[in-house]
A and B are shown apart, each in its own frame.
Chain A
Amino acid sequence: MTYDLELLLSDQPAALERVLQTARYRGFKVRQLQMRQRGSGLQLSMQVSGPQPINILTTQLHKLYDLASLNIEQTLPQTA
């Protein structure tokens, strides 16, 4: 399955690395990524895909101290 995630991060060193590392380690591939400054934070739009339920990733992302908010925008079936 493919998932679109919207994340708001605090602008800390390694914040982006943490998100990407968590996705990789929990078995998700990053398909698309866009990041921009928003206020004092960073807004990240990320499309990931993986065989596991998305809560395996999102519950781990929620543990990151740099994460201010996380929304799952939509769920698409995997395209080839």
Chain B
Amino acid sequence: MTGAQAILTSLIEQGADRVFGYPGGAIMPLYDALLDSPVTHYLCRHEQGAAFAAIGYARATNKVGVCIATSGPGATNLLTSLADAKLDSVPLVVITGQVARAAMGSDAFQEVDVLGLSLSICKHSMQVMEPGDLQPMLNRAFAIAREGRPGPVLVDIPKDIQLGFVPEHSPRPCNTASLPQASHNDIEQANRLLAQSQRPVVYIGGGVGMASAVPQLRDFLCRTQLPHVSTLKGLGSADYHHPLYLGMLGMHGLAAANLAVQQSDLLLIIGARLDDRVTGKLDEFAPEAKIIHVDIDPAEIHKRRHANVSLLGDLQHILPALECTSSKSAWSAQIEQLKQQKGNRYEDHVKGKEIDAPSLLRRLSDLSADDAIVCCDVGQHQMWVAQHMQFSHPTRHLSSGGLGTMGFGLPAAIGAQVAEPDKQVVAVCGDGSFMMNVQELGTLRRYQMPVKIVILDNQRLGMVKQWQELFHNERYSETDLSDNPPFSQLAAAFGIASAEIADAGEVEQALTTLLEHPGPYLLHVRLNHQANVWPIVPPNTANHEMWEQAR
């Protein structure tokens, strides 16, 4: 077997039958072997797009996503996506071709030290220097990507190893890291704090979905009836119908969620890391709250805030052991009232009015399938998606959280559609972000994937514009995009059907047409550039001091 064939055999053994990538010199042997392999390869139009597609695939399925690139520029084009996967704990195996071993270290054509470049943005990286190590290393890469807190793993493979003979390797389960396990004692202590608290709030993070612990979480919330809030990555974990579910907290969190957390006397943090976008001014975050921190990663405990009790381990085991033996009915009543007072209000889509993006997104959410997968880019529209759309599961909301990478939405949607060919997949894009991976329209066209694109076009780099308006004395520097291309014409050039709307009266029909169209479709929505995202917690400010509207 050649090294290239061995790579593909390993992929199949690992269940990775669909991969994303882009060919080039140092990875040509692998692309040659692909022709005779059952692995299906999706050609994206940029390595960043390919890796985002792998992220979309992984996040929509909780399986390992795989992408392939050549050495040099192929590898460097991947770096942003690797960082994205690292910060959002997405399991990826990324295979890069490298120049032949004899040429390594000589500044050969398209040689870069990708191992060195990858160190700080991967969970682990490896370079295969012996043919006999190839398959064991690939197997290990998959194990590492999946285990504990997931993340991206890079495997750099010199071209001569792909071309040469590789000894037969029988896959053995590799030694994976031993995962921590919460002690009975710690669980009892947590339960005691829960019982003693007067104003507890559950703070749900992305870890719940990644641990496949959504049923255990919902059961816990059902048993305990505790008020709960979610991070951006945690959205979809809790049942959005629950009367004590308050939505997203943080910088653009909903007012009720932030106020409840600020008033709490106990926070039960589950699979989250107290990101600065969540806590606002850390010293004033939930100042009276004791902390129970539940996570799989010991490095997150006490990192940003001291935990009174920490429970390390698998959420599927920990959540069923947690209980709250005392009633919090007064607090629950207060929370329900807060939710009532601060609830979102939506506009009817009336002819002759400007389109209100939050109302449009809410309608899109209502009209789309309950298990539709919504991907988005980064900016104001991303926050509107998080605030106003409802998700039945965290695998149904793919948003670049930790890195906040513009250009994420379209390629992630492509990956999600590959993973779930029969599900509705919608990409909600900003006009700025869309242009960052616009080349992936070519991928949509090639595979005729029925991804629905909604461009929320405010002709601005809206989120940056909002900060310039609020915090930089309205000094608008380089955020005007009023020379955007006509997006419908762009879609037409790729053979993709489209429509353009600017009047609220057109929303209902346009959304219905979008969702019912059998193939890919692009809806260009023209917005007033003055709209902003509310609430906002200004920088260095406590979350309860959020601004709820323009001042």
A pairs with B:
yes
Interface residues of A (CB under 8 A from B): 13-14, 17-18, 21, 25, 53, 55-56, 59-60, 62-63, 65
Q: Are A13 and B127 in contact (CB under 8 A)?
A: yes
In the complex, which of the residues A17, A56, A63 contacts B119, with contact meaning CB atoms closer than 8 Å? A17
Q: Are B115 and A13 in contact (CB under 8 A)?
A: yes
Q: Does B125 contact A (CB under 8 A)?
A: yes
Q: Does B299 contact A (CB under 8 A)?
A: yes
Q: Which residue of B lies closest to A13 (CB)?
A: B127
| Bound: A13/B116 CA distance, A | 10
Q: Are B298 and A62 in contact (CB under 8 A)?
A: yes
Q: A14-B115, A59-B303, A65-B124 are in contact. List 20 more A-B contacts (CB 8 A).
A: A13-B115, A14-B116, A14-B119, A14-B125, A17-B116, A21-B119, A25-B120, A53-B302, A55-B302, A56-B303, A59-B299, A59-B301, A60-B299, A62-B298, A62-B299, A63-B123, A63-B297, A63-B299, A65-B144, A65-B177
Residue in A18, A60, A65 whose Cβ sees the most chain B Cβ within 10 Å: A65
Which residues of B96-148 are within 8 A (CB) of A? 115-116, 119-120, 123-125, 127, 129, 144
Q: Which residues of B contact A13 (CB under 8 A)?
A: 115, 127, 129
Q: Which residues of B contact A53 (CB under 8 A)?
A: 302
B276 to chain A, nearest CB (A): 15
B96 to chain A, nearest CB (A): 15
Q: Which residues of B contact A62 (CB under 8 A)?
A: 298-299
B282 to chain A, nearest CB (A): 14
| Bound: A78/B135 CA distance, A | 47
A-B contact pairs, 22 of them (CB 8 A): A13-B115, A13-B129, A14-B115, A14-B116, A14-B119, A14-B125, A17-B116, A17-B119, A18-B119, A21-B119, A53-B302, A55-B302, A59-B299, A59-B301, A59-B303, A60-B299, A62-B298, A62-B299, A63-B297, A63-B299, A65-B144, A65-B177
Binary A-proximity of B186-197 (CB < 8 A = 1, otherwise 0): 000000000000
Q: Which residues of B contact A25 (CB under 8 A)?
A: 120
Q: Are A21 and B120 in contact (CB under 8 A)?
A: yes
| Bound: A55/B115 CA distance, A | 27
Q: Which residue of A lies closest to B124 (CB)?
A: A65
| Bound: A18/B124 CA distance, A | 10
Q: Which residue of B lies closest to A24 (CB)?
A: B120
B153 to chain A, nearest CB (A): 9
Q: Which residue of A lies closest to B151 (CB)?
A: A63
| Bound: A63/B297 CA distance, A | 9
| Bound: A50/B303 CA distance, A | 15
| Bound: A62/B312 CA distance, A | 15
B181 to chain A, nearest CB (A): 16
